[in-house]
Amino acid sequence: MRFARLTARAPLLIAAALLMQNCQAQEARKKMQDLVRQVLDKDTAATLTARQMGSSANLELIKLTRNDDAQVRRIAVYCLEETGGADAAVAFARLTLDDDSQVRAAALSGLFRHKAEVVPVTLLNAFDQTPHPYVRQQLMLVAGKVPGVATPEIAKRYQAEKDPQAKEGLIVAMSERGNAQAQAEFLQGLGASRDRDRSRWLDYARQIKEKWLLPGLLPILDDKTPLVWIGVDGRPDLPQSLRACDIAINLIAEITGHKFSFPIAGNVNYTDEQIAEVKAFLQG
């Protein structure tokens, strides 16, 4: 009896389901149209729409990365960074070869954010093709963190690279892969750096976070140059900058896991006594 009633209603139910499916498809189409329009209008809020849609938007977004207008390409890459996915990662590698520096930067950002989806061969091909040393540097910073990129592939390029800017990325990548020569070069680069350059080397060290860095961090404890602005105008009571020594102490604490007599925090200028305690610990 119940079955008969259900059977009688089946066409209605199927029609309703089809209608719902159709509505959803229409809604999805509408959302996609909106996203495409936003990207073509160079509206950065497209990233919010892309985030909602996820990787189902990738096909259209990837088409937009081939647009003649560099700003459209840039916004499309920002959107792909929100959606992710393997096809997005392939597009990022291709777009590191773009003519426009901001599109290249956005593509590199996508690779950093979606390292797990990087296809190693696309990364290496981009490295081999790009004329820009900065892009080569950044690609190798990514490569060092992608297990699928074989160490001999990085080593080959490390040996051949002549440009100092690009070489820096290779030194970091090879250091991460445990190469002793690269680690020695890293410590030399860190020690020789000053001001903004030192900030960059410390940033690399923060990405590596390994014990072999400790001897290189010891002399940085004497460097009180303010490197990273963390201040807030209008709140002069808060620390203004992280100095080289502050960044070094945070790193040493993170690498060693040692409990110092004072709290470790990312928004502190350590006192001379605290710096001395860390020095004594490293020298002890």
Partner 1 sequence: MSVSQEVFKIERIVPLLAKRAVNGEPDATHPDVDDRGFLTPEFGPVVSVTQGKTVTVRLSRRKLDDAAALTAVSTDTSVFTIADPADGKLPNTTDMDVQVTGVNGGTDSKTERLQVKFGEFILFELHVTVFKELTVDVTPHAITINGGGANGTAPVANIAAVMQKVQDIWGHYGIKIGVKPTRSSTVTFGTVNSVNSNPFNGSGEVSQLLGTDHVPRTINAYFVGQIAGAAPGLITLGLGISRPTATAHGMSNPGIILADGGPGFARSYVMFWANDLAHEIGHFFTLQHVENAQIPNDRQDSWSRRQLMQNRNELAGVSPFPANQLNNRPRFNDTGYGLGQARGRRGCMVTLKHLPQLHFDAEATTSRATINSPAGPF
Using CB under 8 A, list all residues that contact partner 1.
42-45, 47-48, 51, 71, 74, 78, 81-82, 101-102, 104-106, 108-109, 111-112, 134, 138, 195-196, 225-226, 228-242, 266-267
CB of 85 to partner 1, least distance (A): 17
CB of 225 to partner 1, least distance (A): 7
CB of 188 to partner 1, least distance (A): 22
Tokens 């992608």 identify what position? Answer: 146
Query: Is there a contact between 189 and 200 (Cβ–Cβ < 8 Å)?
Result: no
Comparing CB distances to partner 1, the nearer of 20 and 238 is 238
How far is the CA of 115 from the CAs of 64, 104, 107, 119, 216, in angstroms?
22, 16, 12, 9, 28
Comparing CB distances to partner 1, the nearer of 88 and 111 is 111
Q: Which token pair is 71?
A: 């700003």
Q: How far is CA 143 from the centre of its chain?
A: 11
What is the distance between the alpha carbons of residues 76 and 172, in angstroms, rounded to a whole number?
A: 30
Q: Which token pair is 206?
A: 């923060």
Comparing CB distances to partner 1, the nearer of 102 and 181 is 102
Bridge partners, residue 243, by sequence? 226
Comparing CB distances to partner 1, the nearer of 11 and 131 is 131
